[in-house]
Amino acid sequence: MTTDDHPWATGFRSLEEEHDYRLDEVDGQVPSWLRGTLYHNCPARNAIGGKWFAHWFDGDGMISTVRFADDGLHFRNRYVATDNYRDETRAQRVVNRGFGNARPGGVLGNAFREPANVSNTSVVVEGDRLLSLWEGGPPYAMDPATLATHGVEDFGGRVKAFSAHPKRDPDTGELFNFGIDYGAKCTLTPYRLHKGSLTALPTITLPYAVMNHDFVLTKNHLVFCIGPILQSPLSFLLGFKSFDEGLHWDGRKPTLIMLVPRNGNDKPRIIETDAFFQFHFANAYEDDGAVVIDVCRYPEYATVGEAVRNFWKSDWSAEGMAFLTRLAVDLATGKVASRTWNTDRVNEFPVINPAYVAKRHRYDYFLSNPPDQPRGLQQHLSKLDVETGTVTRHDFGPDGYPGEPYFIAAPNGAEDEGVVAVQVFDAKRQRTDVVGLDARDIAGKPLFVGRLRHHLPFCLHGTFTPRTFG
């Protein structure tokens, strides 16, 4: 592993140990109203037997928690005890097929085998359970306090795939999600989960096999932007290619903006627009006969596909990466207008105040890099005021590399009143800090910095609950 010109690389190294301790070093002051538990999921074992995995998305999932309590900050982490984690821990080598990993045995050893569920992408609190999410399969249920793994939750056999990006309606409490299943046809099934009861909305047959990671919610719709990042299902099924190797971009095809009615009765509407790719959305809402969507828009897939494939040794080039873009879909005409703000480069992991999901919002928070930085993981956390176009930034450089931010809203506060919590890997100290920024003054000094005793591998997605589990 080279670190002189890739200082972020060591942030991908595995964390084998599981910890449970109170943070001794906390600079600044946690607001008195901030009590609860912040969860994150990450690919935490990214190599085994001295060999790196073939793709970042192959890493075994680990849930970490930071509990904000009256007596301070507490950290805990546990691996999700998936079948894959147990199998490969015993063998100390790759034994199962993955997103990029191939199991031993060549074509015959991989044919007709699905990728193992590594449950490494996101996490959501549902009732008294914690669900660890990975979009290629069903969730794993866990204890929200101890992080003990209870087992696969397939909702009575009704769920095969359950995306890593559920959206909760802040007014109704309903949790919406989807799953994509591959077979003779590629299908997308939306789900509604409310008070422990899961309902499958009508399944939609897609025109071709695609990969899709995220969606957004509005008052009346689930909104998808399905870019032409296509899968070669036969080559994958027969074992000639991994799932990652089977992905290819076809810019001759449009991106499909699909509006799926939340009521489960009306037919979905599909609107074609110029080809683009996205991993993540910030939010969407309906306004004056239009659906408004804030999305991190890539011109195509190749650059980001290479970056997540090579992760620890990638340059993370800025060319071809995403810009935060607003799409406005006119529901009467089907026309799509777009606007891109001056938000620097490499915009990713956008979040908003969760109370504004499916509603008109004013502020987006996201990671970025300055315009003169051609490579490297993001070092800025930025805030965009969509009404004025003003962008403010917190610079974690030269040694800090933040992960996905999470907005923790102050009780009864304004939209941007709260704490933006983020895990920051310090490449110089080789440790990770838990940082809380004032959401109204992103550029200012952190409200608090809690210092972990070790690094935490770069995380993907997280969630917060005001309940102090543990």
- In this predicted model, what pLDDT tens digit does every residue of 114-127 receive, in sequence order? 999 999 999 999 99
SS3 3: coil
Q: Which residues contact 20 (CB under 8 A, 6 or more apart)?
A: 74, 75, 76
Cβ-based neighbour number of residue 288 at 10 Å: 8
CA atoms within 13 A on the CB side of 299: 6
Average pLDDT of the residues of the chain: 97
Q: Which residues contact 407 (CB under 8 A, 6 or more apart)?
A: 351, 352, 353, 354, 365, 418, 419, 420, 439
Cβ-based neighbour number of residue 339 at 10 Å: 12
Task: Give Cα separations from 83 to 39, 58, 151 (angstroms).
Answer: 22, 14, 9
Give, as one character, the DSSP assignment of residue 134. B
Backbone dihedral angles phi then psi of residue 304, each to the nearest 5 degrees: -70, -30
What pLDDT is stored for residue 112 in this prediction? 94
Q: Determine what percent of the chain is predicted with pLDDT higher than 70.
A: 99
Please name which of 13, 7, 5 lies closest in space to residue 456, comparing C-alpha atoms: 13
Q: CA-based angle 157:158:163, to the nearest 5?
A: 110
Give the pLDDT band (50/70/90) at residue 4: confident
- Report the C-alpha gap between 401 and 425 in whole angstroms: 5
Q: Which amino acid is at 180?
A: I
**Domain extents for the chain?**
9-145+282-465
Please name which of 469, 420, 425, 419 lies closest in space to residue 451, comparing C-alpha atoms: 425
For residue range 218-259, list pLDDT tens digits in order. Answer: 999 999 999 999 999 899 999 999 999 999 999 999 999 999
Determine contact, residues 247/230, Cβ cutoff 8 Å.
Answer: yes
Determine contact, residues 31/440, Cβ cutoff 8 Å.
Answer: no
- 346: its two tokens: 């490499």
For residue range 271-286, list pLDDT tens digits in order. Answer: 999 999 999 999 999 9
What pLDDT is stored for residue 133 in this prediction? 98
Q: Which residues of 362-394 are buried (b: 16+ CB within 10 A; e: fewer)?
A: ebbbbbbbeeebeebbbbbbbbbebeeeebebb
Q: What is the mean pLDDT of residues 354-363?
A: 98
- Report the C-alpha gap between 195 and 279 in whole angstroms: 29
For residue range 54-101, list pLDDT tens digits in order. Answer: 999 999 999 999 999 999 999 999 999 999 999 999 999 999 999 999
What pLDDT is stored for residue 353 in this prediction? 98
Determine contact, residues 65/37, Cβ cutoff 8 Å.
Answer: yes
What pLDDT is stored for residue 3 in this prediction? 67
Judging by DSSP bridges, how do beta strands 149-152 and 175-181 pair with one another? unpaired
What pLDDT is stored for residue 233 in this prediction? 86
Q: What is the mean pLDDT of residues 155-182?
A: 96
Give the pLDDT band (50/70/90) at residue 443: very high
Q: Determine what percent of the chain is predicted with pLDDT higher than 90.
A: 97
Q: What is the mean pLDDT of residues 203-221?
A: 97
What pLDDT is stored for residue 183 in this prediction? 87
CA atoms within 13 A on the CB side of 436: 23
What pLDDT is stored for residue 1 in this prediction? 47
For residue range 365-395, list pLDDT tens digits in order. Answer: 999 999 999 999 999 999 999 999 999 999 9
Residue 458, Cβ density class (10 Å: 0-12 exposed, 13-18 middle, ≥19 buried): buried
Give the pLDDT band (50/70/90) at residue 470: confident
Which residues sit opposite 326 in a β-bridge? 294, 339
The 3-class SS string of 398-440 reads CCEEECCCEEEECCCCCCCCEEEEEEEEECCCCEEEEEEEECC
For residue range 324-336, list pLDDT tens digits in order. Answer: 999 999 999 999 9
Q: What is the mean pLDDT of residues 428-453?
A: 98
